[in-house]
Chains A and B, each alone.
Chain A
Amino acid sequence: MTWLWFHRFGSPPHFYRLAGRLTPWFAWPAALLCLAGLIGGLVLAPPDYQQGDGFRIIYVHAPSAWLSLMVYVVMAVSAAVGLIWRMTVAQAIAASCAAIGASFTLLALVTGSLWGRRMWGTYWEWDPRLTSELLLLFLYLGYMGLRNAIDDLGRADRASAVLAIVGVVNVPIIHYSVVWWNSLHQAPSVMKFGRPSMPPSMLIPLLLMLAGFTAYFAALLLIRARGELLRRERTARWIADALC
């Protein structure tokens, strides 16, 4: 009885309706939070005393970097759920995550290198965080490549789920090995963002952007998962009922 909600959540028609109803509840807050965060970050926050206005890219960079990791974890967890309980919905969610996560990773890399151009004077620095981010992008590309290469949908789901789980075990190891490699190769980077204390006028817009990006991801994921379900279940009876 207590597990009824779990089984119902796993039913494609139920999830399709639920996701459709929930999408605006994430999309609108995402728009409002991002708007507030952008005004706060780009207009109201004072310029940094060292970096001037250049630091403002953090309001896009940090949320994308945060999401690039979070999406990978969401993807791996839902892939594992799909692998263990053979849930179509979980596999559809995992499949929808990959492209979103790869896009956030790319965004984090691009904004990071633009920021690096201004702060370090070069587009690419072998900074441990940038390097791990690049490797994360490769992991996403491998996941999508494996999905694309397998024609049978069920096999693609399960094989890519194993890959995502192996990746999620390995990500911390990769990250620390890169940090360790870098700390031996070169002196600490020229400048690190002022970690000690960020004044509230800078911190609050950042938190708003983090929340806004996360809500945006949730809305996007719901929309993509609905599309994925429609594609997978295109022969099912419930689709005709849901669409007509």
Chain B
Amino acid sequence: MSAPRVGFTRAAIALAARDLRLAVRRAGDTLQPLAFFLVVTTLFPLALDPQLSLLRDIAPAALWVGALLSSLLALDLLFREDAQDGALEQLALSGVPFQGLLLAKTAVHWLLTGLPLVLVAPLAVSTLGAPYGALPGILSALLLGTLALSLLGAIGAGLTMGLKRHGSLVALLVLPLAVPVLIFGARATALAIQGQPLAAPLYLLGAFAVLAATLAPWALAAAVRIGLE
């Protein structure tokens, strides 16, 4: 493998800019998981009595299950196109650290699907009858949680890359691994709605996100390399 002609930072920035540009040109695809999140959180009140106290009780569950499912749906955007047109292969062969490039790709993916989810979450929170005072806590939990979900999900997307029947397989691979995010995230949200201090679950969520950001790139690079063979 020849020495890379560009440094890692420049390569990562160029890759991120390219991914962002592509996503803007295909805004419809990028926004779908977001719309899905809003629809799912709307379905919960419809399936239940729209009593405010009841809605408040299920709000953490609705928000986090919605976020989890929407992040699964978004994974399809991460590698599919790049695997098909050979761009991923070129990245793997470029000599620039592959883990770093994939981390940059995942970060952009989070910017496009995780961050918007956090931004529209106040809408879902208010339809679920949670008090506005709970918003800062809920949003910070979602911010950390979606980050961890993007990283974990990327591994699943890498492992199932290019498989024909992988619709529900990604869910089966990723959801059990995402249980800690669900538990700490929903716990933080519930505490925020009750107006209690929520530092403990937030710290744990943050620790999980940091751990995922540290370890996931290695597993991700291995998974994608295997998928490219």
Contacts and interface: CB of A to CB of B under 8 A. Distances in A.
Interface string A134-174: 01001101100110011000110011001101110110011
A203 interface: no
**Chain A interface residue count: which class?**
20 to 34
Interface string B147-168: 0000000010001100101100
Contact of B219 (A150, A166, A173, A181): A166
A178 B211 CA distance: 18
Given A150-B163, A155-B226, A170-B180, 15 more contacts: A135-B176, A135-B179, A141-B172, A146-B160, A146-B173, A149-B169, A154-B229, A159-B159, A162-B155, A162-B226, A166-B177, A167-B177, A170-B177, A173-B180, A184-B187
A158 B159 CA distance: 10
Contacts of A165: 219
A16 to B, nearest CB: 27
Interface string B173-193: 101110110011001000000
Interface of B: 155, 159-160, 163, 165-166, 169, 172-173, 175-177, 179-180, 183-184, 187, 204, 208, 211, 215, 219, 222-223, 226-227, 229
Contacts of A167: 177
Given A146-B160, A155-B229, A169-B215, A178 B155 contact: no
Given A155-B229, A166-B219, A177 B159 contact: no
Nearest to B208: A173
A154 B163 CA distance: 14
Most buried by A among B179, B204, B211, B215: B179
A162 B183 contact: no
A17 B181 CA distance: 47
B184 A177 contact: yes
A162 B157 CA distance: 13
Nearest to A138: B176
A25 interface: no
B183 A180 contact: yes
Contacts of B169: 142, 145-146, 149
Contacts of A146: 159-160, 169, 173
B103 to A, nearest CB: 16
B172 A142 contact: yes
Contacts of B183: 177-178, 180-181
Nearest to B216: A166
B187 to A, nearest CB: 7
A162 B175 contact: no
Given A141-B172, A162-B226, A166-B219, A149 B160 contact: yes
A122 B211 CA distance: 37
Given A146-B159, A177-B184, A159 B223 contact: yes
A146 B223 CA distance: 12
Contacts of A174: 176-177, 179-180
Contact of B226 (A139, A149, A159, A166): A159
Interface in A74-103: 83
Contacts of B227: 155, 159
